[in-house]
Structure 1
């Protein structure tokens, strides 16, 4: 598995799992509750990220909000939030796992990225990037975007 395998640029990031669940989560989430919007029929700018190589990894800057993906607590079950403070923006590792499919990790940490949303009294829906606990990592598809910038 190689690290830093993609060119920097603009990408739509899509989840490679249960799309229906992800659509529900995205449609229910507030703008300050998720680091990366994935899947669903949402305004594409919510899913469009400028991916920049930064030292030993990549930064994700949301094209629509101008905010960065940021992990304030890099621990198991720690939430990942957005921030406009570039100094605090986390650097992420992107690792190849098949054609156009990647996993996203924070180097040297066991990070769970979790978003829980209550939907009409139903059980919470969880979206996770699973760390080194032996479970299968969840994959994302990076689709290069060449449209208006």
Structure 2
């Protein structure tokens, strides 16, 4: 399994006048920006590296559970690091296996694929574009 997570980030716009407490709380009234009734999103691939391995620790396996836990940490971290940007975290995706069915009925993983961005008829994606 490749050690990478895909974040789907989408464009937002301010929905109304700023809140009087926004200077203290940092809250913004944002909604998803749409063009022709579709959300505008980008696929952001994040390669992962375990720094503990550099310090001599044994590498931990990158499992689907580890991937999802990492994705749910990276999403909010993306939002926090892009406060002055209209882009906000919408969804995450982990690598999926490409399977081969053997003549005896068993299946083998022959490769891994990082998911694409889209949701047909809902999202227009600028695939792998800079944010």
Instruction: Identify the TM-score tier after normalising by the shorter chain.
Output: under 0.3
TM-score by length of 2: 0.22
Q: Which protein has the larger Cα radius of gyration, Structure 1 or Structure 2? A: 2
More strand by share: 2
TM-score by length of 1: 0.20
More helix by share: 2
